[in-house]
Amino acid sequence: MKTIIEPFRIKTVEPIRMTTEEQRKELIKAADYNVFSLKSEDVIIDLLTDSGTSAMSTKQWAALMQGDESYAGSPSYYHFEQAVKELMPFKHIIPTHQGRAAEAILSSIFGGEGKIVPNNTHFDTTRANFESTGITALDLVIEEGKDPALEHPFKGNMDLDKLEDLLRESGDKIPLIMTTVTNNAGGGQPVSMANIRATKALCDKYDKPFFIDSCRFAENAYFIKIREEAYADTSVVDIVREMYSYADGMTMSAKKDAFANMGGWLALNDDDWAEQARTRLIMTEGFPTYGGLSGRDLECIAAGLKEIVDEDYLHYRIRSIAYITEKLDAIGIPVMKPGGGHAVFIDAKKMLPHIPALQYPAQALAVQLYITGGIRGVEIGSFMFGRQPDGSEVAAPMELVRLAMPRRVYTQSQADYMIECFEEIYKKAGEINGMEITWEPGSLRHFTSRLKPVDA
């Protein structure tokens, strides 16, 4: 059949408060033109993030009731550990309250002034955690990944030539190498198994540990299945297991590809690193068998990890993103091609060429999208990544608006509504003004900065 239906039924609903365009103009102004500062009840369709926003299943809700809240040795931890190891057979599974906590612990082990950590593309908290220790977080995605309009099956791939040049020239400064799957900041684009394998080979050649930033591992595995010919007949579960057979460790936000509202983990094979990590965990998160999570959360993650590798679900998930991407492309909206795994990405640099990069065209488009339709997306461009550690500002390679789709939350008609909103914006794109920052914090400015239109 041509129509891809949701492989689930809706059992409970949450009402949405509808607002008018005039109301939204006042609401975004009161929020200082930062979509993070909006109240969620003032948002009609919330695509700010797919992190922790999934709809949990009946099995997850049932599992939640089994949560054991013992401080040490809870059976919920062992259910969680077993579920992780069934997919990712690392020796040490260390729970954390979310992915950025795992990144912070990893940074505490490997960080230091003058060090360099290459990645295909570091996301915001990954970059901030590394940089807070003095590390230079370096992006080495392939050139094809920097062109939103270009069709390429694995635009998240690491540039292996640049990586080897870096290892040859600065290997003594590199404590680890990381790949993000899927490549969130690069448009939700996948990384091929061949690229993962080749990255690991370079790590072995230069004696460097290889880590995978794993938030959307199942989506990446499904892309490998449908785009990498050698894996067409391989199950997603087996693809996941092979991906992690090449890694020495991983960080994970369970708020993405585990359908959980909270949680994450750091996984390691090295005993010494694990000892350091658990010591840090106790200081900042909690005892190693709960790591800042309730037993309820651990049970929900364990159940979610079984559901996320369901291939009917993944087919629906990937096709849903492709549907919106293709419809927007058909009406002339410049989008990241091909469709990514968790989000639709709009190329604001191309859509709003009259706005200079340091007037944040993607932020301006995100604001206009909220005003027009009550839809909240997020800027991934110079507003998020332009401020450098030395205080200077540099335009980001791409100016994107990310529309991150919460898992099992929105329907076909809501997707069509999003497309209609962009049709309206497209008609008056030339009238959209850039933005300027009136106040910003010292780090991760996109979360809390205040802005205004440049002509205000």
In this predicted model, what pLDDT tens digit does every residue of 350-385 receive, in sequence order?
999 999 999 999 999 999 999 999 999 999 999 999
Residue 137 CA from chain centroid, whole number: 17
Q: How far is CA 218 from CA 5, 153, 259, 388, in A?
A: 20, 16, 11, 32
pLDDT tens, position by position, 198-253 = 999 999 999 999 999 999 999 999 999 999 999 999 999 999 999 999 999 999 99
21-50+311-453 has CATH 3.40.50.300 classification? no
72 φ/ψ sector (left φ>0, alpha ψ -120 to 50, else beta): beta
Domain with CATH 3.40.640.10 in the chain: 58-308
For residues 35-40, give the mean pLDDT: 98
pLDDT at residue number 390: 87
Is residue 456's pLDDT more than 70?
Answer: no
pLDDT tens, position by position, 201-210 = 999 999 999 9
Alpha-carbon gap, residue 404 to 54, rounded angstroms = 11
pLDDT tens, position by position, 54-90 = 999 999 999 999 999 999 999 999 999 999 999 999 9
pLDDT at residue number 2: 77
Look up residue 245 and give its two tokens: 């057979």
- Whether omega before 338 lies within 30 degrees of 0, making that bond cis, reads yes
pLDDT at residue number 142: 98
- Contact predicate 221/240, CB 8 Å: yes
pLDDT at residue number 4: 82
Task: Give DSSP secondary structure letters for 377-438.
Answer: -EEESHHHH-B-TTS-B---S--EEEEE--TTT--HHHHHHHHHHHHHHHHTGGG---EEEE
For residues 94-119, give the mean pLDDT: 96
Report which secondary-structure segment, H or E, holds 453.
strand 450-453
First-last CA distance in the chain: 52
pLDDT tens, position by position, 120-158 = 999 989 999 999 999 999 999 999 999 999 999 999 999
| CA-wise closest residue to 4 among 285, 312, 335 | 312
For the chain, percent of residues with pLDDT exceeding 70: 100
SS3 of 119, please? strand
pLDDT at residue number 1: 74
pLDDT at residue number 280: 97
Helix, strand, coil tally for the chain in percent (to 5)? 45, 15, 40
Is residue 284's pLDDT more than 60?
Answer: yes
pLDDT tens, position by position, 408-436 = 999 999 999 999 999 999 999 999 999 99
pLDDT at residue number 351: 98
Alpha-carbon gap, residue 196 to 223, rounded angstroms = 13
83 φ/ψ sector (left φ>0, alpha ψ -120 to 50, else beta): alpha
Is residue 445's pLDDT more than 90?
Answer: yes
SS3 of 214, please? coil
For residue 95, give the amino acid letter. P
Alpha-carbon gap, residue 224 to 231, rounded angstroms = 7
Burial of 242 (0-12, 13-18, 19+ CB in 10 A): middle
pLDDT tens, position by position, 153-196 = 999 999 999 999 999 999 999 999 999 999 998 999 999 999 99
Alpha-carbon gap, residue 236 to 215, rounded angstroms = 16
CATH class (in words) of the domain with range 58-308: alpha beta
Look up residue 252 and give its two tokens: 């994970």
For residues 107-115, give the mean pLDDT: 96
Domain with CATH 3.90.1150.10 in the chain: 21-50+311-453
Look up residue 37 and give its two tokens: 């500062």
Q: How far is CA 320 from CA 17, 150, 209, 214, 310, in A?
A: 24, 20, 36, 21, 16
